[in-house]
């Protein structure tokens, strides 16, 4: 299965937490016409998570999210390479699949964990994270700052790691040059 270069490939974390907090529609809206994919290992992680967080099942049922299954040798080799670097037992396999798709197909990956983001940068894989994705939505006037502040606080309440604390979205994005004052 070929994945288009304009696709976004999501890791488990953002999808799981957006769904658990009732914000999955925001990711759908931000994707617009871009295809959204998850590797089959992310699908497996989401299935496991849905046993404890039923709202996560909505990700698995979303018709706008395509599951990538491949026996292509270049994909499997890339996956094995990332698994050697990141996997600890069954942990981090989703990130390995996401990175392999980014490498093989040249699409953008959405990862929040630091180690896989560093690897993506090393390998020249286009990578973004939740906060820059939300900032792009604000810049495009698709989302409001107030809405994103509420969304970020909800994610933090559910123990999702973001690089700031509750109520800290605005200050973080200004200090890190992700948004200008006139964009807020």
pLDDT in tens, 22-34: 999 999 999 999 9
**pLDDT at residue 165 greater than cutoff 80:** yes
Cα–Cα distance list, 21 to 28, 30, 47, 177 (Å) = 14, 17, 17, 27
Phi first, then psi: give them for residue 28, nearest 5 degrees: -60, -45
Using CA atoms, how far apart are residues 95 and 171, in angstroms rounded to an integer?
29
Question: Mean pLDDT of all residues in the chain?
Answer: 95
Indicate the CATH number for domain 8-128.
3.40.50.1010
CB atoms within 10 A of CB 94: 29
- Please, where in the chain does CATH 3.40.50.1010 lie? 8-128
Task: Report the pLDDT value the prediction gives residue 183, as an integer from 0 to 100.
Answer: 81
User: Does the pTM of the predicted model rise above 0.85?
Assistant: yes
Per-residue tokens: 135: 């900032």
pLDDT digit string, tens, across residues 63-76:
999 999 988 999 99
């Amino acid at each position: 299965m070929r994945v288009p270069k304009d696709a976004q490939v999501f890791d488990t974390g953002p999808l799981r937490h957006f769904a658990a907090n009732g914000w999955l529609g925001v990711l759908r809206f931000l994707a617009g016409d871009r295809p959204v994919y998850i590797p089959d290992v992310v699908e497996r992680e989401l299935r496991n998570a849905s046993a404890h967080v039923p709202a996560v099942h909505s990700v698995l049922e979303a018709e706008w999210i395509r599951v990538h299954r491949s026996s292509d040798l270049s994909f499997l080799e890339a996956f094995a390479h990332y698994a050697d670097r990141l996997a600890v037992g069954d942990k981090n396999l989703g990130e390995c699949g996401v990175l392999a798709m980014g490498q093989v197909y040249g699409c953008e990956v959405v990862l929040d964990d630091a180690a896989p983001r560093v690897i993506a940068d090393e390998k020249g894989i286009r990578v973004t994270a939740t906060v820059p994705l939300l900032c792009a939505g604000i810049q495009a006037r698709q989302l409001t700052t107030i809405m994103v502040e509420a969304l970020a606080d909800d994610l933090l309440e559910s123990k999702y790691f973001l690089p700031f604390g509750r109520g800290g979205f605005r200050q973080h994005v200004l200090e890190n040059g992700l948004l200008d004052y006139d964009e807020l």
